[in-house]
Structure 1
Amino acid sequence: MRVFVTGATGFVGSAVTRELLDAGHEVVGLARSDRSAEALKAAGAQVHRGDLTDLDSLRRGAQAADGVAHLAFIHDFTALAASGEADLRAIEAVGEVLEDTGKPFVVTSGLLTAPGRVATEEDPADPRSPGHHRLASEGAALALAERGVSSMVLRLPPSVHGEGDTGFVPMFIDHARTKGVSAMVGDGSNHWAAVHRLDAARLFRLALEAAPVGVRLHAIGDEGVPFREIAETVGRGLGVPVTSVAPEQAIGHFGWLGRFAAVGMRASGALTRELLGWRPEHPALIPDLEAGHYFKTS
């Protein structure tokens, strides 16, 4: 299968690129820079120049492919609404050229369910979710199933971890290193779902190869890790004390990260495992943190 991959050189996307190539697929990766283009060539993938806002480039890449994996996202946490709008336009552009082709189109999303419960694949997107900026994108992706596209949504948890992680966990580690304490909100009893990036990459491949049309898939390794355990492991890794901050002080202590530190995001991937035979094989979040690579400084 010739697969057009957006975000092909990102933390998760580069693992998806490797997974697809190793399985014998042909990968054409979207590259917005010379550095990204060189990384794709080094991996053995083909290069398609453009970016998430170049809709004509996205259309051309999708039209020449047998399937599309959309992982690119503009991670500007100061303007998430605008990032969500750009994501929606990109999905709509790809959808236009895939209409009535039956080609697989896997769209990346977050856990778009209300906090405080275990999210399942059957749960529709909820405007109360921390990732509400992706609601329109998820809806647009699933709606393409009614227009002759084998579209599906693959939801990623708040922590997709592994060596080279640039997400929330290393951000919290950097914050703890700067502050000299590893903090949690309240008693840290809120939970985070997590998955190793290599397990997530394998699920993207399986989705492209075999997932039914119009499904939501959950890439879940850890259903829910108490944030207290994350804070304590970070404290041990950095050699700093662990402390608690009151909910009303979370933003003051963490900045914009405070709203993520306080939220509960538990999720199940049971239906996904049953549907595709997918099983996480790589380390869970806490053992991955305990391995030490998160705490190395250059």
Structure 2
Amino acid sequence: MRILVTGASGFIGGRFARFALEQGLEVRINGRRAEAVEALVARGAEFVQGDLSDLALVQRLCQGVDMVVHCAGAVGVWGSYDYFHQANVTVTEHVVEACLRQGVRRLVHLSSPSVYFDGKSHVGLREEQVPRKFVDHYGATKYLAEQKVFGAAERGLEVVALRPRFVTGAGDTSIFPRMVEMHRKGRLWIVGNGLNKVDFTSIHNLNDALFSCLTAGGEALGRVYNISNGAPVPLWDVVNYVLRRFGLAPVGRHLPFGLAYGLATLNEGICRLLPGRPEPALFRLGVAVMARDFSLDISRARQYLDYEPRVSLWTAVDEFCDWWQARQAG
């Protein structure tokens, strides 16, 4: 089987491409940074560099490919709607169209649980519990991209989508590095009482789920799936564990939710008025993420993908810490 993995210069796409190579698949990869995929090329991946906004490039990428795992896209909470729409919706439209034109059999689309975010606490969210109104451009465009993917099923393309929550492991440059940097600058506070429980996902477990999407059939197709480790944990226990691994003092200072939310609102407002609209240091959505319970119901993935988390969160966190420390030392 030959597959294409988009976004392979990023964390999730890169780790899945390596996993697919280890399973004996022929893997073509795409990304913007050649230096980020050198190890994958050395393992036998075929690298085609380029921007997925170029429809002609996407058509070439999909030639001779059996299945596509689409991991590319913009991530974040700050930026214009046009920016997120281009990176998450238009690019996905290009991938869908290329799959249909080039006879690709299946498209596996990496979405996000950000489609659920509304600033409130949620426990055991099911896939159909999408809010009527999205609180940010990222969540809105990721959901719209999903709809483009599932619309292609009516044209004969086999499609599956995953919404993995807080993915971590070696290669994660997003979740914990940002918090560690904030802590070193003295800007990390526990928002609220610090007891909120959230889901994480080991990159190994996500790789298993993605691979299952390549091999599953029948009723598993045409669905979107929540993916996590299936065991919510107190967010701040995890953060403080990582800080201790790095020899840093744990976070002990608390900031009331209302005060933090008000400061974030003010910060965002000021940044919108400044030239260039710089990214705020504090977001309302970020405050909610740090203070609210947030977990997913993964029973659908268990039923249709035979998904069962096999790598614990703490193993994934230790893997991240070992990798990050080696990277800093190098």
Q: TM-score, normalised by structure 2?
A: 0.79
Matches within 5 A, 1:169-184: 169-179=176-186, 182-184=188-190
Cα contact 2:168–2:201 (8 A) shared by 1: yes
Relative to structure 1, the CA distance from residue 178 to residue 135 in structure 2 (aligned partners, 3 Å threshold; closer, same or farther) is same
One-letter amino acid matched to 1:283: S
Q: What's the secondary structure of 1:138's corresponding residue?
A: helix
* CA RMSD across the alignment: 2.6
Partner of 2:175: 168
In the superposition, relative to structure 1, how do residues 125 and 210 fare at CA in structure 2: closer, same or farther (>3 Å)? Answer: farther
Q: Number of aligned residue pairs: give it.
A: 295
Q: Does 1:271 align with 2:277?
A: no
Are residues 1:155 and 2:202 paired? no
Question: Secondary structure of 1:69's match?
Answer: strand
Kindly provide the CA deviation profile for residues 122-154 of structure 1, in whole angstroms up to 9, marking residues without a partner as x. 444653466334121111112211121111211
- Unaligned runs of 5+ residues in structure 2 are 265-280
Greater Rg, structure 1 or structure 2? 2
Task: Give me the whole-angstrom Cα distance separating, in 2, the residues matched to 1:289 and 1:56.
Answer: 40
Match of 2:256 in 1: 246
The question of 1:255 aligning with 2:282 is answered yes
Task: Tell me what 1:8 maps to.
Answer: 8
More off after superposition, 53-62 vs 33-42:
33-42
Contact 1:250 1:262 in 2 (8 A): no
Which of 195, 200, 203 aligns to 1:197? It is 203
| CA distance in structure 1 between the partners assigned to 2:198 and 2:132 by the alignment | 18
Q: Aligned partner of 2:47: which letter?
A: V
**Alignment-derived partner of residue 91 in structure 2:** 90
Provide the secondary structure at the position in 2 that maps to 1:29.
strand
Q: Measured at CA, do residues 152 and 234 of structure 1 come closer, stay the same or move farther in structure 2, by a change above 3 Å?
A: same
What amino acid sits opposite 1:79 in the alignment?
G
Q: Tell me by how many angstroms 1:186 deviates.
A: 0.5
Q: Name which of structure 1's ranges 246-255 and 67-76 shifts more when overlaid on structure 2.
A: 246-255
Residue 233 of structure 1: CA displacement?
Answer: 2.6
Amino acid of the residue matched to residue 183 of structure 2?
A
Contact 1:191 1:227 (C-alpha < 8 Å) held by counterparts: yes
State whether residues 14 and 37 of structure 2, in contact with CA within 8 Å, keep that contact through their aligned partners in structure 1: no
- 1:126 and 1:106 map into 2 onto residues whose CA distance is 25
Are the structure 2 counterparts of residues 102 and 74 from structure 1 closer, same or farther at C-alpha, using a change threshold of 3 Å?
A: closer
SS at match of 1:68: strand
Of all paired residues, the percent bearing the same amino acid is: 24
- Structure 1 window deviating more from structure 2 (137-146 vs 72-81): it is 72-81
Q: Tell me which of 72, 94, 116 is aligned to 1:113.
A: 116
SS at match of 2:72: coil
Residues 52 and 260 from structure 1, CA distance in 2 versus in 1: closer, same or farther, beyond 3 angstroms? farther
Q: Report the CA distance between 1:68 and its aligned residue.
A: 0.4
The one-letter code sitting in structure 2 at the alignment partner of 1:160 is V
1:207 to 204, 210, 213: 213
- The answer to whether the 8 Å contact 2:168/2:175 transfers is no
* Residues 186, 255 of structure 1: alpha-carbon distance in 2 compared, 3 angstrom cutoff: same
Q: Which amino acid aligns with 2:303?
A: E
CA separation of 1:228/1:294 partners in 2, compared to 1, >3 Å: closer, same or farther? farther
* Alpha-carbon distance change, 202 to 6 in structure 1, aligned in 2, over 3 angstroms: same
Q: Give per-residue Cα distances to partners, 1:92-125, cap 9 Å, x unaligned.
A: 1121132384711011111122542221234446
**Residues 48 and 61 in structure 2, CA contact (< 8 A), matched pair in contact too:** yes
**CA deviation after TM superposition for structure 1 residue 241, in Å:** 4.0
SS in 2 for 1:24: coil
User: Which residue does 1:134 correspond to in 2?
Assistant: 142
**Aligned residues of 1:235 and 1:242 also touching (Cα < 8 A):** no
Q: Does 1:221 align with 2:222?
A: no
- Give CA deviations for 1:198-242 in whole Å, capped at 9, x if unaligned: 110121111012153211122210442222323443454422441
What is the one-letter code of the residue matched to 1:119?
Answer: L
* Residues 36, 172 of structure 1: alpha-carbon distance in 2 compared, 3 angstrom cutoff: closer
Verify the 8 A CA contact 1:231 1:242 in the aligned structure 2: no
